[in-house]
Amino acid sequence: MKADLEYEYNNWINHLINIKKLSQNSVISYKNDLSKFLIFFQDYIEKNIGLKEIENIEISEFRSFLTHRRNSEISSNSIARNISALKSFFRFLIKNNKIKESSVFNLKSPKLKKSLPRPINVDLAIQVIKQAEEIEDEKWIGLRNKAILLLLYGCGLRISEALSLNHDDIQNEDHILIKGKGEKERIVPMMPYIKKGIENYLEACPKEIVSGDALFIGKRFSRLSPRIIQYALEKIRTTLSLPETATPHALRHSFATHLLDSGGDLRTIQELLGHSSLSTTQKYTKVETSKLLDTYKKTHPLAKK
């Protein structure tokens, strides 16, 4: 890769982080997707590439890359993300007058199936949280994992939000201030049971966690990686014979669904989840049609006539 292209590649990454405010996982995914394309294209034309070469990429060459990716048996969702990453990069270059145009914008994303979230039922959610403590050999790690899962199911946090918490963020008695996607802040209530779970972890932790420190740490005492909790869930799934859909994010789904099932309203749940759009919350909170009809019949004025 020539120096001019490498320079703009790094500028684009900084743009995603500092201007677009994408999550760490999204930045890593976009970075990997674009890197794969640049490596592919350089091999494809058998020469070192810079801004001049990528400005002249034909639509057929972009499609060859996508065919190459499909042959790797990646999903339609991944193909769609590949296209999104490419368009983001080339849009950045055009906006900053580094290239004039690109055929990449003629690419069409594949149609994606709209999949509904699969929440865990109440009893299983509680079993998962208890198992998090029991399955680990080291007590403090079990208590740490349990505290994190409590935040996912009890507060509806994203895994990234839970792991980005610092010690200072939990000093309020009954709530947490969460900084979610796009740097949007929201207040989430924290039940005493969840607070106690975090305190139990802090007491057992071999490193004293003080003001300014990451709340959840790994064995090397650095901020915990999401992969550690995903792996813990994999072990719990095996122990409890749960499906692969029982993920950390499924606990957030369950938080929303169980609140709605218990009479919570969509607007409140939207605030708790930190969704900008109510339609997004509706996807997280699927209620059986029979229950909706039952509620309608009991509450609508005409149904009482």
- The predicted-structure confidence for 63-78, as pLDDT tens digits, reads as follows 999 999 988 878 888 8
pLDDT beyond 90 at 138: yes
**Is 181 a residue of the active site?**
yes
Nearest to 174 by CA among 156, 201, 194, 144: 194
Highest averaged pLDDT of the listed ranges 19-28, 34-43, 246-255, 283-292: 34-43
- Note the pLDDT tens digit of each residue in 102-113: 999 999 988 876
Mean pLDDT of 219-230: 93
Q: Catalytic annotation on 196?
A: no
Strands (E), the chain: 175-179, 185-189
pLDDT at 243: 81
- What does pLDDT average to over the chain? 85
Max avg pLDDT among 146-150, 152-156, 184-188, 254-258: 146-150
Statement: residue 293 has pLDDT above 70: no
Which spans in the chain are helix H?
Answer: 3-18, 24-45, 51-55, 59-70, 76-95, 122-134, 139-155, 159-163, 192-204, 226-240, 248-261, 266-273, 278-284, 289-299
227 as an active site residue: the answer is no
Q: Which of 69, 81, 195, 275 is catalytic?
A: 275
Report whether pLDDT(300) > 60: no
Task: Spot the catalytic one: 91, 249, 258, 283.
Answer: 249
What's the confidence (pLDDT) of residue 39? 95
The pair of structure tokens assigned to 157 is 């946090």
Burial of 108 (0-12, 13-18, 19+ CB in 10 A): exposed
Mean pLDDT within 252-256: 82
Regarding pTM above 0.75, the answer is no
Q: How far apart are CA 120 and CA 246, in angstroms?
A: 7
pLDDT of residue 295: 58
Question: At 301, is the pLDDT very low, low, confident or very high (cuts 50, 70, 90)?
Answer: low
267 is catalytic: no
Say whether 252 is catalytic. yes
* pLDDT exceeds cutoff 50 at 192: yes
**DSSP 8-state symbol, 223:** B
Give the per-residue pLDDT at 93: 96
Assign 288 a pLDDT band (cuts: 50, 70, 90). very low
Q: Note the pLDDT of residue 289.
A: 47
Given the residues 87, 181, 223, 258, the one annotated as active site:
181
Q: What angle do CA 11, 15, 21 make, to 5 degrees?
A: 155
Told to judge if 158 belongs to the known catalytic residues of this protein, a careful annotator would answer yes
* Choice among 158, 195, 201, 253 that is catalytic: 158
Question: Which domains, ranges and CATH numbers included, belong to the chain?
Answer: 3-106 (1.10.150.130), 122-293 (1.10.443.10)
Rounded to an integer, the average pLDDT of 188-209 is 93
